[in-house]
Amino acid sequence: MKLGSLALTLLALWPSAAAQTAPASPRAITIDDYIQIQAVHDAQLSPDSRWVAYSVDRGTLKTDKNETRIWMVAISGGDALPLTADGVSSSHPRWSPDGKLLAFLSARNEGKTQVWLLNRFGGEAQQLTDTVQDVEDFSWSPDGRRIVLVLKDPTPEELDAAKEESASAHSSTPSNAGSDDKKPKSKKPWVIDRLQFKVDELGYLDRRRTHLYVLDVVKKSLVQVTGGDFDDTEPAWSPDSKLLAFTSNRSMPDPDQTYNSDIWVVAANNSDGGAHLTQVTTNPGIDHSPAWSPDGKSIAYVTTLDHKLFDYATRHLGISPASGGPAKVLTLSLDRMVSNPRFSPDGQSIYFIVDDDGAQNLAQIRFGDGQMGARPVSGSVFVSSYSVGSGTAGNVTASTIAVQMATIDRPDEIYTIVGGKLVQITHTNDALFSQLKLSHGEYVHFKSKDGTQVSGYLFKPLDYVSGKKYPTLLIPHGGPVWAYYAEFSHLAQLYAANGYAVLFPNPRGSTGYGQDYCKAIYADWGNKDFQDDMAMVDYAIEQGFADPDKLGVGGWSYGGISTDFIITQTTRFKAAISGAGAAEFSSLYGHDQYQRDYETELGLPWENQAAWIRVSPFRNVAKVTTPTLFMGGNIDWNVPILGGEQMYQALKRLGRTTELVVYPDEFHEFTLLSHIKDRLERNLAWYAHFVKGDSTPARPAPSRKSTD
């Protein structure tokens, strides 16, 4: 239900040293261009602020596999340098404090994901860690002597494999000597005793937890510093390298019962497994993303004040003494979602990303008096992450920031801010985009049925001519607590290239417009957000470019759920596509991962049946006449395919036009490029047949895998 796959990760080819020759006239974007778009992310400034390391994702239809490679570029720009080899994924680059080494995560030689070290001045990468399980995250200590690792408790199978490997290494006789065939290992049953027992991409949950371990880089000694029946994440070192702040839900008697998480501190040389901790925050809501002040006296973090509103509540910037004590919320008057707090090097201000009015900006607030400063990155852009440093850039000494940022016309690239000036330093996608003709998204405002001001993005078709009416697609977003932003959307461009006007509304429930706007759909799904979605359709018709007789609707995740609400309340759409949607929520209780959300928002299904029925579009399924395609992955525990199956079964039984497509071995977010391509092909065929009225079949011909 959270963050649908309209926000799919862009999978890409590597940057090419030789730029492609741009055609004489730009062409329309295609489905295959999705695979050519390069995903640039995780920018990390070197300690001297002269270089930026970053990752680029790659995917090819030939292998249906994705790879990530690490690159480096000077903050002054120029040619990017590949730091890791092609053919094996490497990610999460992190500079050593002296800037000589770059640590990263990689699963090489068919082994576990481990930390590797690469000398910036050349040479082969060297494996640093050798843990039984995968390393999930890590961070250097400021003195460069240690690294904190985030490790999940190993499975019995991982422990057995480690014992066998150790025994084999100390024996001259192979462990499988005398046996040509190994018996296949039987799969053991899942034995479950947790309240929260299932999560998408992980499946059934056991009692294995994630904890922090400290590795001495020279001695290679590893010490577990937190433990217990709790998950510990987001480690952050104190400036003196003596303490670690981290995020953990240690609510008693059962963390699975609450949304609470707090900031905790543990000594980095702790050897008691976390028996002695300092609790920094006591707020019953969610506190996370700790960041130390340069003097080590304070910790900034993201805090949610109204825990009963969970995702609907505004995430604020909080500050607390590192030793615990009274907390202060710095952004109450801002009333916007914040994330990724970081202190400025001088400790005088705190940077953070702010979700505001269809954009994500980099903001700054003074630590002393809580006054908002000018935004280092503002306007219609989408900032995903950033890295703060200070150092000498050329002949100018200044604070330096590296920013991962997208615009409405371009996917993410890396920008730097030196002396207050924003400069793009990577041009990973320029060669491809120089070939493409795009529809420039417009941010528009309109009023809903009850007078509420609503905003959204619209994309006119590439062949747009003023005064002509065009088939129009309404695409509700996922979440529901999310929004459309000023960032590149391949989906919008693909539809525009195929002759559609495309509507991306931010109805009530969306972020970026304040808590009251966000919580307006609390326990009331498919009502005010339905009105707001329809208001954008009416706006497009009033503007004269949307053909009221050729309308389509479709989304993924909550966008699919919104589609189910829409087709049960109106017959104005000629076709619908509900991806990873749901309509009969009581059947999902205990089947998906949202039992706590359901109970908080709707109550227990056997005690508050009226509330559950009220938000269920399934009760109106007999009213549906719109030809509807249902889609999803068979192992999606976020919004299980059960929701689509139920709607499909009902419409089929009612004799309506419908189809169900289930993708094998796919979670909520698809990973196989061949499946993503197939989905897009089916979307275009379904809409062309039913919305445009084309004679082409509603089901596309089977496509062949590309050999790129």
Query: Shortest CA distance to 500 belongs to which of 533, 547, 566?
Result: 547
Question: Which phi and psi angles does 136 have, rounded to 5°?
Answer: -90, -30
H or E element, residue 404: strand 396-407
SS3 427: coil
pLDDT at 6: 31
pLDDT at 110: 80
Q: Which residues pair with 198 in a beta bridge?
A: 204
pLDDT at 701: 84
pLDDT at 177: 46
pLDDT at 148: 98
pLDDT at 707: 45
pLDDT at 173: 56
pLDDT at 398: 47
CA distances to 464, 550, 571, 579, 693 from 687, in Å: 18, 10, 16, 14, 8
Tell the residue number behind the tokens 């509420």, with chain if given: 452
pLDDT averaged over 10-residue windows placed end to end, the chain, 708 residues: 38 35 78 94 96 94 90 94 90 96 92 94 90 97 97 92 77 53 73 94 94 96 95 98 97 94 95 86 96 97 95 97 95 97 95 98 93 95 93 50 97 95 96 96 98 98 96 97 98 98 98 98 97 98 98 98 98 98 96 96 97 96 98 97 98 98 97 96 98 95 60
Single pTM value for the model: 0.93
Tell the residue number behind the tokens 């001088």, with chain if given: 346
Q: Yes or no: say if 241 and 141 are a contact pair by the CB < 8 Å rule.
A: yes
Buried b / exposed e over 670-686, threshold 16 CB at 10 Å, is bbbbbbbbbbbbbbbbb
Specify the CATH number for 439-692; select among 3.30.360.10, 3.40.50.1820, 3.30.390.50, 3.30.450.20: 3.40.50.1820
Alpha helices, H only, 397-508: 430-433, 490-497
pLDDT at 535: 98
Q: C-alpha 250: how far from its chain's center?
A: 25
Sign of CA dihedral 162, 164, 165, 169: positive
Angstrom distance (rounded) from CA 345 to CA 415: 19
Largest CA distance in the chain: 83
